[in-house]
Amino acid sequence: MNILAIESSCDDTSAAVLTDEGVKSNIIASQSIHVKFGGVVPELASRAHQKTISQTVEQALEEASVSMEEIDLIAVTQGPGLMGSLLVGLCFAKGVSLSRNIPIVGVNHMDAHIYANFIDETPEFPFVCLTVSGGHTQLVLVKAPFEHEILGQTRDDAAGEAFDKIGKILGLPYPAGPHMDRLSGKGDPGFHKFPQALRNEGLDFSFSGLKTSALYFLQDKSEEWKKNNLNDLSASISEAITGVLIKKLKKAVLQTGVKSIAIAGGVSANSMLRSKAEQLALEMGLTLHIPHITYCTDNAAMIAITGKMKAELGQFDDLSMKPFASL
């Protein structure tokens, strides 16, 4: 089966081709327009998707050496995401489906982050997945394909959002997560102890207090001081975020008794989180799955693999499918 997948839920226009041999192409056109605003501007995002979607799909087909005639299935992100952004990908996918008479399947973006783990590996069910992105932070018990139980989630900001907003206070460009990751490698995580909210309570998360705490801690510091201590500050913030994420992941494992864990979403690209997850797996004798770094942040390959899994279960959609911003 040859699958063409399209992802446009936020600020990355992505198209991928997945064949029986694996991922043949995964083109990601990231929108630089938002950098000067320090965050994603929804209207600009949808306009940028419109501009780039045709060429992104063409590039994906070309790189995969697969023609549109050879495509058997279109997989597309249905939600969650920005309505205007979702509409562009969905309308494009429906157009191709209608004009070429190709079956279509809508994919939940958060499911796709989880199933990105199935691109290169075959995790065994059940497993607990820590899904951490710019919009979501969830602990999910994945019992069987598409049989999920959300064990805990953030009550306010997402982990990626915390990286981005605190990074912005530190003067780092959007998205600040990858910059803080790079800087924290040269810093001391024990430089300052930032709070880890709800650390000993349940499986929910809260990151808005961390943002406020960082704001208060930094408000009377000079720009020069911040600059001189940027590595240590990045490491200390990363420690607070990843510390609580791993603590709750461990708690979820103890609660469910699973033997296998996974991490997924943009923040799963974070080196401190990856190494803490490796340590946890070692300590508890668990099998750990982490997607290849290119499949952590938003990409269409994860939409393709999820579409494939849905199609194998006979779960197709039709042209009446609508975008669902809060799916």
Q: Which C-beta is closer to ligand KG4: that of 293 or that of 319?
A: 293
- Residue 76 has phi, psi (to 5 degrees) of -140, 145
Tokens 């990626």 belong to residue: 160
Min dist CB 72 to ligand KG4, Å, is: 27
The Cα–Cα gap between 18 and 108 comes to 18
State the sign of the Cα–Cα–Cα–Cα dihedral 201, 203, 204, 205: positive
Of 61 and 266, which has the nearer Cβ to ligand KG4? 266
Residue the block writes with tokens 């705490």:
213
- Which CB atom, from 96 or from 263, has the smaller least distance to ligand KG4? 263
Minimal CB distance to ligand KG4: which residue? 266
Cis amide linkage into residue 126, ω under 30° from 0? yes
* Residue 13 binds which of ligand KG4, Zn ion, none (CB < 5-8 A, kind-dependent): none
DSSP character for 145? T
- Which one of Zn ion, ligand KG4, none interacts with residue 160, CB within 5 to 8 A by kind? ligand KG4
Intra-chain end-to-end CA distance of the chain, in Å: 27
Beta bridge mates, 128: 141, 261
Q: Cα–Cα distance between 153 and 253 in angstroms, integer?
A: 15
Residue with tokens 């959002």: 161
Which is nearer to Zn ion, 282 or 293 (by Cβ)?
A: 293
DSSP state of 154: B
Closest to Zn ion by CB, 251 or 274: 274
Nearest CA to 306 out of 13, 52, 94, 74 is that of: 74
The binding site for ligand KG4 (CB under 6 A) comprises: 10, 133-135, 160-161, 163-164, 175, 177-178, 181, 265-267, 269-270, 297-298
The least distance separating ligand KG4 from the CB of residue 216, rounded to whole angstroms, comes to 22
Instruction: Please say whether the beta carbons of 217 and 89 come within 8 A.
Output: no
Q: Which does 267 bind (CB under 5 to 8 A by kind): Zn ion, ligand KG4, none?
A: ligand KG4
Specify the residue, 134 or 307, whose C-beta has the smaller distance to ligand KG4. 134
List residues near Zn ion by CB under 5 A: 133, 298
Give min distance, CB of 311 to ligand KG4, in A.
Answer: 23
Nearest approach, Cβ of residue 300 and ligand KG4 (Å): 12
Q: Which does 74 bind (CB under 5 to 8 A by kind): Zn ion, ligand KG4, none?
A: none
3: phi then psi, degrees, rounded to nearest 5: -115, 130
Shortest CB 56 distance to Zn ion, Å: 17
291 binds, among ligand KG4, Zn ion, none (CB under 5 to 8 A by kind): none
